[in-house]
Amino acid sequence: MAEPEFTALGVRIGKGLRSLTRAGQVRISGGRVELLTSYGSEIDSAPVQAVRASKPWFASGDRALADLNGKRYVLTLGEHDPAPGEPGPPAARRFIEAVRRAAGRGS
């Protein structure tokens, strides 16, 4: 299996006002974006070309929106990248850039 292009652990994944997991995982690997629970079960996945990632204008800097298969998910990542060797999810901005790069849309 190829090395994932992007992985974030400890991500809060929500749909609308409902929280689906508080310590989930977001992974971009093999041309797919995958949203996983803290136990590794798949919440949703889609080809990276069909995923739209953006920054909500109304939220703090640690949130990103991801549209997969017609469903909108709110991802709470980190506001800043963690220091090397420190735990924590990467910045929301890095997730958005990773989706655009993987889909060939540039940054």
What is the Cα–Cα distance from 39 to 91, expressed in whole angstroms?
22
At 28-48, the pLDDT tens digits run: 999 999 999 999 999 999 999
CATH number for the domain harbouring residue 18: 2.30.29.30
Only one residue has tokens 């993987």, namely 102
- Give a yes or no: residue 51 inside a domain: yes
- pTM comes to 0.85
The whole domain housing 31 covers 6-105
In a domain, 1, yes or no: no
Per the structure, how many domains does the chain have? Answer: 1
* Residues whose CB falls within 8 Å of the CB of residue 56, separated by 6 or more in sequence, listed in order: 63, 64, 65, 74
Cβ burial 43-77 (10 Å sphere, 16+ → b, else e): bbbbebeebebeeeeeeeebbbbbebeeeebbbbb
Whole-number percent of the chain with pLDDT over 70: 88
